[in-house]
Amino acid sequence: MSLTLPTDAGEPMSAILVATPEVRRHSFASGTRQVSLRNTGTNTLWFSFDKKHWYDVACGTSWDDRVSVREVWYCTQVGKTQVAVIGLALVGA
């Protein structure tokens, strides 16, 4: 029986980031099919896909959706927080 991957499978591109009031950019090694974030610190995370529209993720919470991006921007309003980010890349044919 041949081994086949489900159609929504992907290769994880994982990173642990530290967000501060300075806006930083995180680039994925390739385009994503899904991005998951978890704010593991104690301050609110702000993140953006285009540096124009920003979303907040409260500490202790996570966010995920099927988005095709190559980079995200992130920061805090005050203090710092830690972020676990996993971008799923398409599995090669």
Residues that bind other proteins (CB under 8 A): 16, 18, 21, 40-44, 55, 57-65, 77-80, 82
Using an 8 Å Cβ cutoff, are 39 and 74 in contact? Answer: no
Using CA atoms, how far apart are residues 33 and 9, in angstroms rounded to an integer? 9
* Short-list 67, 11, 20, CA closest to 45: 20
Q: Of 61 and 91, which has the nearer Cβ to other proteins? A: 61
Smallest distance, other proteins to C-beta of residue 29, A: 21
Q: How far is the CB of 68 from other proteins (least distance, A)?
A: 15
Closest CA to 20 of 92, 78, 84: 78
Q: Which is nearer to other proteins, 15 or 91 (by Cβ)? A: 15
Q: How far is the CB of 56 from other proteins (least distance, A)?
A: 8
